[in-house]
C-alpha cells in the first residue's frame, strides 16, 4: 500500500512538472487571453456594487510588445522592479531589505519581482501561503528560463489588473484615456502603474491627490531609468 501511495505521488508530481513546462512553452508564443484572476473576479468580484458589475464582464485586449509605448516598461521598472534586468527572477537585495525592515519592527512588505508577479498572474491564484509561494517560485524559474525578460514584460503588461474588470495596459489606455497603449504619455503610464498595488480602490480615471503624488514620484524615477539592455 505504501509503495502504491508513493508511486501515485510520483506520477502526480511528474504530471505537474510536464504540464507546467508545457504551459510555459505554449505561452512563450501564444497570447495570454484569460488568467485565473479574471475568472475569479468574474464569479467573486470585490469593491462597490458598480465595480463588482464591471468585474463580471472584463475588458482585455492583447497587444504585441512593439505596440506598447516604452514609457510603460520604464514606469513599471521605476515602481515595481528596478533591478528587473539584473536579477534571475528573485531580487535578493530587495528581499534582504524587506527582512531587515521587519527585524527593526516594521511591517513585513512584499518584495515580488515583475517575474514573480507574472508567474502568479498567468498560472496561479491571488493570496498567500507557502504552497502557493512555492508554486510561484517554480513558475518564476520556468518563465525566466524559457521566456526571457522581454517576453515576461510583454505578458506582464498585457495581464496586470489595472481597474475593476480591466486587464492589461491596452484596456487601461482605452478605458481611462481613450487611446492605445502605443500612444500613452509618461503621465498616463505613471498613473496606471501608481494604481497597481490596489487598482480596485485606486481610480486611474479619477485620481486622488495621493495617487497623483505617487504618479509624480514614478515620473521622476522614470527619467533616471536606463533603456533595456540590447541583449533583451
Q: What is the mean pLDDT of residues 17-29?
A: 96
pLDDT in tens, 60-79: 999 999 999 999 999 999 99
Residue 161 in 3-state DSSP? strand
Between CA 224 and CA 18 the distance in angstroms is: 42
DSSP conformation class of 162: E
Q: Which domains does the chain have, with CATH numbers?
A: 35-222 (1.10.3810.10)
Q: Are 157 and 68 in contact (CB under 8 A)?
A: yes
Q: What is the mean pLDDT of residues 199-203?
A: 92
In this predicted structure, the answer to whether residue 128 has a pLDDT above a threshold of 80 is no
Between CA 112 and CA 139 the distance in angstroms is: 13
In this predicted structure, the answer to whether residue 107 has a pLDDT above a threshold of 70 is no
pLDDT in tens, 143-197: 999 999 999 999 999 999 999 999 999 999 999 999 999 999 999 999 999 999 8
In what helix (H) or strand (E) does residue 144 lie, and over which residues does it extend? helix 130-146
C-alpha cell at 94: 530587495
> Which string of b and e fits 6-32 if b means at least 16 CB within 10 Å?
eeeeeeeeeeeeeeeeeebeebeeeeb
Q: Are 184 and 71 in contact (CB under 8 A)?
A: yes
pLDDT band at 106 (very low <50, low <70, confident <90, very high): low
**The pLDDT value given to residue 56:** 81
The sign of the CA dihedral 115, 109, 226, 179 is: positive
| Closest by Cα among 216, 224, 225, 215 to 192 | 215
Place of cell 504618479: 215
C-alpha cell at 187: 503621465
DSSP conformation class of 128: -
**The pLDDT value given to residue 110:** 61
**The pLDDT value given to residue 197:** 82
**The pLDDT value given to residue 101:** 74
In this predicted structure, the answer to whether residue 105 has a pLDDT above a threshold of 80 is no
Q: Determine whether 124 is exposed, middle or buried from the number of CB atoms within 10 Å of its CB (0-12, 13-18, 19+).
A: middle
Amino acid at each position: 500500500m505504501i509503495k502504491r501511495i508513493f508511486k501515485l505521488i510520483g506520477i502526480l508530481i511528474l504530471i505537474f512538472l510536464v504540464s507546467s513546462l508545457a504551459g510555459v512553452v505554449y505561452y512563450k508564443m501564444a497570447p495570454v487571453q484569460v488568467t485565473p484572476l479574471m475568472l475569479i473576479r468574474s464569479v467573486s468580484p470585490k469593491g462597490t456594487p458598480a465595480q463588482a458589475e464591471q468585474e463580471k464582464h472584463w475588458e482585455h485586449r492583447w497587444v504585441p510588445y512593439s505596440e506598447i509605448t516604452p514609457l510603460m516598461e520604464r514606469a513599471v521598472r521605476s515602481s515595481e522592479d528596478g533591478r528587473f534586468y539584473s536579477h534571475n527572477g528573485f531580487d535578493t537585495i530587495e528581499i534582504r531589505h524587506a527582512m531587515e525592515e521587519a527585524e527593526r519592527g516594521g511591517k513585513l512588505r512584499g518584495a515580488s519581482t515583475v517575474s514573480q508577479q507574472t508567474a502568479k498572474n498567468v498560472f496561479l491564484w491571488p493570496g498567500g501561503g507557502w504552497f502557493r509561494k512555492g508554486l510561484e517560485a517554480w513558475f518564476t524559474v520556468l518563465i525566466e528560463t524559457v521566456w526571457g525578460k522581454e517576453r515576461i514584460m510583454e505578458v506582464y503588461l498585457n495581464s496586470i489588473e489595472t481597474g475593476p474588470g480591466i486587464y492589461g495596459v491596452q484596456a487601461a489606455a482605452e478605458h481611462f484615456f481613450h487611446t492605445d497603449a502605443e500612444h500613452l504619455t509618461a503621465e498616463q503610464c505613471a498613473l496606471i502603474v501608481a494604481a497597481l498595488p490596489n487598482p480596485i480602490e485606486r481610480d486611474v480615471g479619477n485620481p486622488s491627490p495621493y495617487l497623483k503624488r505617487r504618479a509624480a514620484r514614478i515620473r521622476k524615477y522614470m527619467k533616471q531609468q536606463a533603456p533595456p539592455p540590447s541583449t533583451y
